Structure 1
Amino acid sequence: MIRHGSLRLRLFILILTPLVLLAILLGYWRYTVAKQTAQELFDDSLLSAGLAISRDVAVSEGDALSPTTRGLIRDASGGEIFYHVTGPGGIYVTGYAYPPASVTPSGKDVYQPQFFEAVYRDEPVRVLKMTERVTLGNLVGDATVTAWQRIADRNAFANELSIRAAILMGILLATLAFVVWFGVARGLRPLLDIQDAIDLRSPDDLSKIKRPVPVEVHGIVRTLNRLFGQVEHSINAHQVFISEAAHQLRNPAAAVQSMAEALRDAKTDEDRDKRIAELVSAAKNSATVAEQLLSLERLRQPTHHDQMEKIDFRLVVEEACAEMGVRILAKGIDFEVTMPDSTIMVSGDQVFLTEAIKNLLDNAVKHGGAELSRISVALCCDGEHVNLTVADDGTGLSPEQSEAAFSRFSQLEYSDGSGLGLSIVSAVAERHRGTVAINKVEKGASITLELPLVL
């Protein structure tokens, strides 16, 4: 038995895998959004600090920053803020001595705040540069405020937001995995209930499963019930076949035993020779019945494609007719075979097809009666099928007698046959996806075996 792992585990993986992938995508998106949000928030904070510094420089005429502005610079959420202020004519006013350098694009409004990235003391920083018209004492001119922050401080803030979101999603995924794992187990409970119900059955109990199950399991239960029905039918048919076979073999065996006892008690050579002939005939009949029973049992086995081969049906008919023709002609019966010269290809088992043809001919001989004088075999094609018709001018057989004629161990009238010949023919036809039928004729019997051609 091939194992494919736990169904519970497979469902768990199928459900959780897309959710984990979605969580990864959402995490990446959340990190990107956090960085963008931090950039906007810190740029606004940097701009607020720059405006406050510019105001204080103008108010104090470059002397000092107010405590409020210093507190804003010190407590900025984006980390430490550095600044540099120059007055009219580029005179240094306050702040750090050497600000990050920038190049102002030509044509750009110098009074428009500018944000850019630069390197300050070997660290990447985000810089704000803004210029305003101010009056410092008796000087009137442009004052430039440059403020900057370390980008690492901003990234740390963005990472903290992302980590918090990741922890939240991890908790949600862990909770969902827990719910899915035990939820799938509960959802699969009906399958385990069916298993328990089947385990409690005895080997002889093949009745239908009537336990209520979810809609998704209806197909499985329906298939199991159909399989149980097929197995039960097969077992019953096999038991009936064994019973009938035992009954049919009992008579030939008893006849052989009786002939052997009669041979032992024979008084004269003439009587002994007569008993020997009867014993040989009884042994042949017993062997024929046994062979036919074995053929029926083999035909009951399922058909495998590798047992079928592409064969010329015309050669099969020739072989069977050549073997049976000797026996038919020896009885003084005319025997005629008509078939086309071209090949007739069919897919089948040559042994079974040969046996079916021989049984059709043997049936004509055994059941033709005293009026039988002629047997004919005709082979023809209609484009998609090949038809083999065996006809005789004997006692006769009508389509209304088909059910009895093709049943096992059934005979329309007493003969030395076993009642298995036409049953074997019917089984061979079914195995080869063909049909066998009794034709309506004015005199005698006519049976046609139809098989599909291999085109």
Structure 2
Amino acid sequence: MRRRPLSLRMRLLVLILLPLALAAAGLGLWRYQAAQRTAAELFDRSLLATALAISRDVAISGGDALSSSTRALIEDASGGEVFYHVTAPDGVHVTGYAYPPVERGADRDPAARMRFYEAVYRGEPVRVLRIVETMAIGPMVGDARVRVWQRLAEREAFARGLALRAAALMGMLLAILALVVWFSVHLGLHPLRELHRAIARRSPDDLSRIEGPVPAEARGIVDTLNRLLGQVSDSIAAHQAFISDAAHQLRNPTAGLLAMAEALEHAAPGPEQDRRRAELVQAARRAARVTEQLLSMERLAHDPGQGARERVELNALVEEICAGFAEAALRRGIGFAFEAASGPLVVEADPVFLGEALKNLLDNALVHGGAGLAEIAVETGVETGAEGRFARITVSDDGKPLPPEAEAVVFRRFAQLEPGAGSGLGLAFAATVAEKHGGRLRIDAADKGASLSLLLPLAPGRPGR
């Protein structure tokens, strides 16, 4: 099962508190190391003070006894037990513990007058201070050695105590900060909760803009949502307009089919019935063509743009469409000619939509050419302009003229310059196909008849690849 994503509040808390927790952990480690250094410095100073006090008492008493203040210092030095060992100038044990920790060979430095080192005493690691002082003990005068030492465990405990107190303080501060951040984030997200409630209160039919003050960080989301609502509203309006137009356009052919069917039913057998049957078939074909154009327009309106694109050799596609159209034109006594470009014309296009667009251009010439229509010609070529190189399909005829300034009218759906047998969808569909493919449909200036050119960008790379 897919994991539910973290809420925005939790994301903010994690993003804010996690770096702080990591910083606190780093600070705690640094504080522990600093506590260890502090403990080492304090304990070393305590050992030095104890060693000097013992040395003083041995020199004064001749090694017989330590003063009460020195004994108190030994017992209470830095909160831990201190051990000591004193030898006379001749190396004889004078006072203290009989067996001091032994210096390791690698650490031994007999010439040093004062030296700290670490050793093992009774199975425990200890810190040792050795000092050498010239003193008189009885009849002997020379260098006496005083050793004092203390367990390292007590230093570690002292350092841990300092670090734990610091950690407790940082933990308390972090907990207080977490509460402050929690309530701050809760209050900061209040406008988003208000926005959520405002959207939730809307009815499914309410696609108006979302108004009201929102934080600057959420303004982009609201603007995007308003833009989306506007697009949805436009799409719904376009669907409603399409349904209304389609109902209007299909009403007349349907009514005509019904009337012709009734007339055929009551027609007398013979030529009259044959004529009625031919009219019915022709009307059914026109109705089917209108329905096909309406469905193609609707499918094109929702085409994502790149779904069925492929590299198409335009000459071959146009030749295939023209081969199917030429028979219908010649049957009506209309001349037809196709002239292909000298080289291949490769475009990236949806061949189905492109073929439908060319069929609509040819049907437009056939339906709207008028009584004087005698010839239809199709030509392919290359056209270079400021926007690049385009493949061109030109459909021209010698029928009724179509001026270039009529583009604003005839490229609209269900629009015609004058009443005719067409549906007013053919040129609109071809113009939309061209626009979807990054090109355009234009009306060319012609001395006679009409000429329309469909321009499509040539595919990059070498032709045919």
Distance apart, 1:189 and its partner CA: 2.2
Aligned to 1:181: 182
Q: Which moved more, 1:83-92 or 1:335-344?
A: 335-344
Could you report, residue by residue, the CA deviation over 1:220-260 in whole angstroms, capped at 9, with x for unpaired residues? 00000000000000000110111011011101111111112
**Separation of aligned partners in 1, 2:3 and 2:20:** 30
Aligned residue in 1 for 2:422? 417
How do 1:362-381 and structure 2 match up within 5 A?
362-381=363-382
SS in 1 for 2:77: coil
What's the % identity of the aligned pairs? 54
Correspondent of 1:432 among 434, 437, 441: 437
1:398 alignment partner, one of 394, 403, 423: 403
Distance 1:320 1:106, change over 3 A: closer
Which string of whole-angstrom CA distances, capped at 9 and with x for unpartnered residues, describes residues 8-52 of structure 1? 222222222222222222121111111111111110111011111
Change (3 A) 1:213 1:2: farther
- Partner of 2:463 in structure 1? none
Match of 2:446 in 1: 441
- 3-state DSSP of counterpart to 1:76: helix
Corresponding position of 1:115: 116
- The one-character-per-residue Cα deviations of 1:166-222 (angstroms, maximum 9, x if unpaired) are 112222222222233333233222222111111111111111111211010011000
- Pick which of 300-309 and 359-368 moved more: 300-309
Deviation sequence 1:70-123 (CA, Å, 0-9, x none): 111111125110001112212222111111122698996846310000111111
TM-score (norm 1): 0.95
Q: Which runs of structure 1 show a deviation greater than 4 angstroms over 4 or more consecutive aligned residues?
A: 103-109
Task: Give 2:345's aligned residue.
Answer: 344
Distance 2:282 2:126 in 1: 115
Separation in 1, partners of 2:6, 2:23: 26
In structure 2, the partner of 1:229 is: 230
- Partners of 2:238 and 2:8 lie apart in 1 by 37
* Contact persistence 1:367–1:395 (CA under 8 A): yes
Distance 2:74 2:109 in 1: 28
Q: How does 1:46-125 map to 2 (within 5 A)?
A: 46-102=47-103, 110=111, 112-125=113-126
Question: 1:239 corresponds to which letter in structure 2?
Answer: Q
| Distance (whole Å) between structure 2 residues aligned to residue 387 and residue 292 of structure 1 | 23
The one-letter amino acid paired with 1:6 is: S
**More displaced stretch, 34-43 vs 389-398:** 389-398
Aligned to 2:196: 195
Deviations 1:60-79 (A, max 9, x none): 22121111111111111251
- Residues 441 and 356 from structure 1, CA distance in 2 versus in 1: closer, same or farther, beyond 3 angstroms? same
Describe the SS at the equivalent of 1:90: coil
Cα distance in 2, alignment partners of residues 25 and 230 from structure 1: 52
Instruction: Tell me if the contact between 1:385 and 1:453 (Cα under 8 Å) persists in the aligned partners.
Output: yes
Paired residues of 2:305 and 2:436 also in contact (CA < 8 A): no
Per the alignment, residue 130 of structure 1 pairs with 131
The CA RMSD measured in Å over matched residues stands at 2.1
Asked if the contact 2:402/2:450 (under 8 Å) is kept, the reply is yes
Deviation per CA, 1:391-428: give whole Å up to 9, x if none: 12221112211111111111101211111100110121
Q: Name the CA distance, whole Å, in 1 between partners of 2:356 and 2:106.
A: 102
Amino acid at match of 1:38: A
Match of 1:408 among 391, 413, 436: 413
Q: Is the 8 A contact 1:110 1:131 kept in 2?
A: no
Report the Cα distance in structure 2 between the residues aligned to 1:238 and 1:371, rounded to whole angstroms: 39
Query: Separation in 1 of the partners of 2:295 and 2:187?
Result: 51
Q: Which residue of 2 aligns with 1:305?
A: 306
Distance 1:198 1:96 in 2: 85
Residues 105, 228 of structure 1: alpha-carbon distance in 2 compared, 3 angstrom cutoff: closer
What is the one-letter code of the residue matched to 1:385?
A: F
What is the match of residue 323 of structure 1?
324
Asked whether the equivalents of residues 190 and 214 of structure 1 are also in contact (C-alpha less than 8 Å), the reply is: yes
CA contact (8 A) 1:42 1:78 kept: no
Report 1:132-281 matches (<5 A): 132-267=133-268, 269-281=270-282
Structure 1 unaligned residues grouped into runs of 5+: none
